[in-house]
Amino acid sequence: MDFVKSLRETKILKYLFFALLGSIVLAISSKIKIPFYPVPMTMQTLIVLMIGIAFGWKMALATISLYLFEGIIGLPVFSGTPEKGVGLVYFMGPTMGYLLGFIVAGYLAGKFVYDNNLIKNFLKLFFATSFIYIFGMLWLGSLIGWDKPIFELGAQPFLLAELFKILIATFAVNQIKKFRSFF
């Protein structure tokens, strides 16, 4: 009985370790700005996809939720923090929809089954990423008003960078999914 309890505790510690590690990588990816056209890009959405592929949907949900929790309680894990504020106030700003979209994208990226078909894998990752922008634009529209050009403000400047990141994930999917053996 003690052996089974010890085994469960070890498994829980392993999951907590990987969730914390994933949230740290996600936080670091939010701080790295890469010059790109028309706007600089961070690597957050790529890491969200990679977390889903590597960890599976359950651990992806836990990891991304932990990351969001860290930001909500005031840790400077989000892209614009601490320069533009921290905590719940920053979270509830214009980026909230995108951040919530991370949860759906990570879930979908973790739920999909990948094979050697690059086109199918690309479409799955494109579909998962689209929820980041759907949620983002819905929140942005409700915040600034639907009379504004929401697509031009909330998605269009980022599409080329997203295409680039989805291609990276597509070509690396077979390497990334090897991490699932840890779970």
Domain spans of the chain, in order of start: 2-182
Architecture of the domain made up of 2-182: Orthogonal Bundle (1.10)
* Residue carrying the six token digits 């701080």: 31
14-67 pLDDT tens trace: 999 999 999 999 999 999 998 887 778 999 999 999 999 999 999 999 999 999
3-state SS, residue 3 = helix
Q: Is the pLDDT score of 85 beyond 90?
A: no
Please check the confidence at residue 6 and state whether its pLDDT lies above 80: no
Give the tokens for residue 66: 């932990």
CA distance 161 to 38: 9
Q: Residues 98, 100, 101, CA angle at the centre, nearest 5°?
A: 60
pLDDT at position 2, please? 78
Q: What is the mean pLDDT of residues 163-167?
A: 97
Answering whether pTM is above 0.85, one says yes
For the record, the structure tokens of 125 come out as 């990752």
Q: What is the pLDDT of residues 116-163, one digit of tens each?
A: 999 999 999 999 999 999 999 999 999 999 999 999 999 999 999 999
